[in-house]
Structure 1
Amino acid sequence: MSRISVYSTRICPYCVMAKRLLSAKGAAYDDLRIDQDESARAEMQKRAPASRTVPQIFIGETHVGGFDELAALDRAGKLDAMLAPYINEQS
């Protein structure tokens, strides 16, 4: 099963908020730092070719988008169902 992937940088406040929201939900995720790893940047651009900003969040193979989209899913009551397979998953 694919995992949750968060493409991020160290200084991005939206990345921090996205990871806090996922952690608060108990979801396991991979933090892929594009500022430290060029291969992570290339992978992000391949998976989300039109996206140039971080965070870029994937739940399994579904491209959620950034923090605003993740928070909108949460407000709409849809995020918990999407995260259910990843709650308390071992890293």
Structure 2
Amino acid sequence: MSQVTVYTTEPCGYCRVAKALLNKRGVPFEEINLAKDPEGRAELVRLTGMMTFPQVVIDGETIGGYQELVAFDRGGSLAPLAAAA
């Protein structure tokens, strides 16, 4: 089973809709909220090279933010993650 991690902050509308999309597709994920964690944010930048939220990481590979997650879904790549859950 793939490990899906969603890095979020507050308030963040894109974070909310990214989590809703994953839930709708039945993809289990771990949420890491970095709203009050500057060290975690620095680690996220090191990991993904991005400073925007959300950041979606699947099995250690950065997918990107909400728009990239939608494209990933439209390409049919979320369905296998849900099936493996």
Q: Distance in 1 between matches of 2:59 and 2:72?
A: 15
Which structure 2 segments of 5+ residues have no match? Answer: none
The residue that corresponds to 2:65 in the other structure is: 66
8 Å contact kept, 2:26–2:82: no
Please state if 1:21 is matched with 2:37. Answer: no
Tell me the distance in 2 between the aligned counterparts of 1:39 and 1:30. 19
CA separation of 1:52 and 1:79: change in aligned 2, threshold 3 A: same
Alpha-carbon separation, structure 1, partners of 2:39 and 2:27: 24
Percentage identity across paired residues of the two chains:
38
Match of 1:9 in 2: 9
Q: Deviations over 1:10-57 (max 9, x none)?
A: 2111100100111112222111111122332122111112x1110010
Structure 1: which 5+ residue stretches go unaligned?
Answer: none
Question: Would you say 1:55 and 2:54 are equivalent positions?
Answer: yes
Consecutive aligned runs of 4 or more in structure 1 exceeding 6 Å deviation: none
Task: Please report the TM-score for the alignment, with normalisation by the length of structure 1.
Answer: 0.79
**Contact 1:2/1:61 (<8 A) preserved:** no
Measure the CA separation in 2 of the matches of 1:59 and 1:85: 15
Aligned residues of 2:27 and 2:78 also touching (Cα < 8 A):
no
RMSD value, Cα: 1.9
Could you tell me whether the CA contact under 8 Å between 2:9 and 2:33 is conserved in 1? Answer: yes
Report the counterpart of residue 38 of structure 1 in structure 2.
Answer: 38
Report the 3-state secondary structure (helix = DSSP H, G, I; strand = E; otherwise coil) of the residue aligned with 2:62: strand
